[in-house]
Amino acid sequence: MDTNYFNFIENLKSNKNIDFFSYTGWSGLQVVKLLIPKSKKITNLQLDESFPHLVNKEKIFISTENNIEFKSDDMNKTLNNFDAVDIVSKNKKYEFSSLKDTFIFMISSSKSETPEGKSIYFNFKKDLEARNLWGGQIISRPYEGKELTVVLFDLKPGFKFEDKGHANEQITWLTEGEMDFYSNNKKKLLKTDIGVSIGPNHLHGGVSGGALGFDAFFPKRNEDKYKTDTNK
């Protein structure tokens, strides 16, 4: 259960006609970058076949691109930058498609419970409160799922931070910019497609060169500052 750095690009896999980059951490927390080819579909059945350990588990899908079509039994949406869908229903039928080659992130955990509820659509920037979790040089927008917490962060250049650690696994990855990062005496320059899985209660921190990215946590964070009311 040590801290580990990873590169999405070095973890390309193919299964059931799906190409994806994936990293699974020590708690079962998994972040997947799903490639959506032009005019092709990715369905829940394909995902269940490719990731059988995640069947009926909560899945949060996040778009950092534009014009991804999402269709399900009860929702039709065009996903644009920072749009997300949290799927928590068993046997939910859904699909993603696009008119261009693109990708979408999927966050889940094989060790989560099997929750039940309605699917939730939201935009990280439009629907979630901007919070000052670490001081004036970072904007954080936490989303509280049933079993997972995901935070969009925007760090200004020169911002320094340090966290004494927590029992929850944290996987951090960037979509823009870069950050000098350390955890448990392991150092790495984080940039697009390079991320880190932080070990339990490991001291970690860094210096931002200007960075935009996500923190995913499992189990979810229970502190008040991470609570949201989006999933009612």
pLDDT tens for 145-172 read 999 999 999 999 999 989 999 999 999 9
Alpha helices, DSSP H only, in 74-226? 124-127
* CB contact burial 175-214 (16+ within 10 A = b; e otherwise): bebbbebbbeebebebbbbbbbbbbbebebebbbbebbbb
Helix, strand, or coil (residue 100): coil
Q: For residue 114, what pLDDT is reported? A: 78
- Give the pTM: 0.95
Q: How far apart are CA 143 and CA 150, in angstroms?
A: 5
Q: For residue 136, what pLDDT is reported? A: 64
Q: For residue 232, what pLDDT is reported? A: 45
Q: For residue 204, what pLDDT is reported? A: 96
Vertex 107: Cα angle to 101 and 108 (nearest 5): 135
Pair of tokens at residue 108: 């889940």
Which domains does the chain carry?
A: 4-123 (2.60.120.10), 126-226 (2.60.120.10)
Q: For residue 89, what pLDDT is reported? A: 79
Regions in the chain scoring below 70 on pLDDT: 135-137, 230-232
Q: For residue 230, what pLDDT is reported? A: 64
CA 6 from centroid of its chain's CA atoms: 14
Q: For residue 74, what pLDDT is reported? A: 86
Q: For residue 83, what pLDDT is reported? A: 98
